[in-house]
Amino acid sequence: MKFPAELLKQCWFLTGPTAVGKTATALNLAERLNAEILSMDSMAVYRRMDIGTAKPDPIERATVPHHLIDLAEPHQDFSVTEYITAALSAVEDVISRGRVPLFSGGTGLYLKAILRGIYEGPPADWDLRNRLEEQTLRDGPQQLHDQLMAVDPITANRLHINDQRRIIRALEVYAATGLPLSQQHHNTPRPLTERPAAVVWLEPPRDWLRDRINRRVDLMMQRGLLRETQTLLATTPLPGRTARQALGYRELIAHLEDNQPLEDAVELIKIGTRQFSKRQHTWFRNMEECCSIPVTGDESADQLAEHLLQRFSTM
């Protein structure tokens, strides 16, 4: 599945590591571009997971229309294919009304899928998936990751040990086709003539971002992230595997279900978020379509938006 080039070239993309200031910059940029914002966040697709995913608040959504948020219930899985299908529909809608689609978010896999297309692969093998999930519960995630390392080290090295859903999918593809997933992903960059002009990522100083992440987690706790997690666990059906593994939620679920001290859970959220930001940094740096925009942390969102407009609007 691939975005038509004629639509893709009309889109803008703003990405970067978590807590870098994408939301505020995107809002300012959208007003200058006559744009609507399309979320590029794999956890923002889930309803009632608002604080931990840093969704735009009602005032921000009223200022600029937002799309691709609240598409699924927390107990559901939501695939990249489903996201691309929804994103394509949203882009067509925004363009049909004479406005500009502005993608904003930090999920590198979504960005890559939009820019290069996705490999859909064989259908799900639910018997195999269930066996592998039971194996993980019994033996732990390391054993599953080792299993993938033995047949597809390239994919295994790309995936975090706790990314159970994607590890299982890679093993499923290998079982169905006899070939590693890494050999079947032919999502190379498009020719320059088919790429959007503006695919930018904000690259901040590491120490500045570390402090921003720590303060952001504290603010999320103040705003009620623990209460939001408690509410999720009180709903029926219970949150599914993907939602339970989301940063911030999985640590607080461990606090609520396993009696882990709250202060330890909060510290683990900060550590996990900092590690995630490093992986994002590596992902965007290694995508040739992405243009790095260094930021110092002193710029306002308004200044960044104006800089981006001046640099890319004439390309």
Q: For the segment 115-172, what is each residue's pLDDT rounded down to a tens digit?
A: 999 877 788 888 999 999 999 889 999 999 999 999 999 889 988 888 888 899 899 9
Q: Does 190 score more than 70 pLDDT?
A: yes
Q: What would the mean pLDDT of 171-190 be, rounded to a whole number?
A: 83
Phi-psi region of 3 (alpha: psi -120 to 50; beta: other; left: phi over 0): beta
* Count helices and strands in the chain by DSSP H and E runs: 15, 6
Confidence at residue 205, expressed as pLDDT on a 0 to 100 scale: 96
Q: What would the mean pLDDT of 208-215 be, rounded to a whole number?
A: 97
Q: Does 315 score more than 90 pLDDT?
A: no
Other CB atoms closer than 10 Å to residue 139's CB: what's the count?
Answer: 12
Distances (CA, A) of 292 to 58, 194, 203, 220, 269: 30, 20, 6, 28, 27
Judge if the upstream peptide bond of residue 180 is cis by omega within 30 degrees of 0: no
Confidence at residue 185, expressed as pLDDT on a 0 to 100 scale: 60
Q: Which domains does the chain have, with CATH numbers?
A: 5-118+187-312 (3.40.50.300), 126-183 (1.10.20.140)
Q: pLDDT tens digits for 38-79?
A: 999 999 999 999 999 999 999 999 999 999 999 999 999 898
- Report how far residue 313's alpha carbon sits from residue 99's, in angstroms, rounded to the nearest whole number: 14
Beta strand pairing call for 35-39 and 291-294: unpaired
Q: Does 201 score more than 90 pLDDT?
A: yes
- Report how far residue 234's alpha carbon sits from residue 43's, in angstroms, rounded to the nearest whole number: 19
- Report how far residue 24's alpha carbon sits from residue 30's, in angstroms, rounded to the nearest whole number: 10
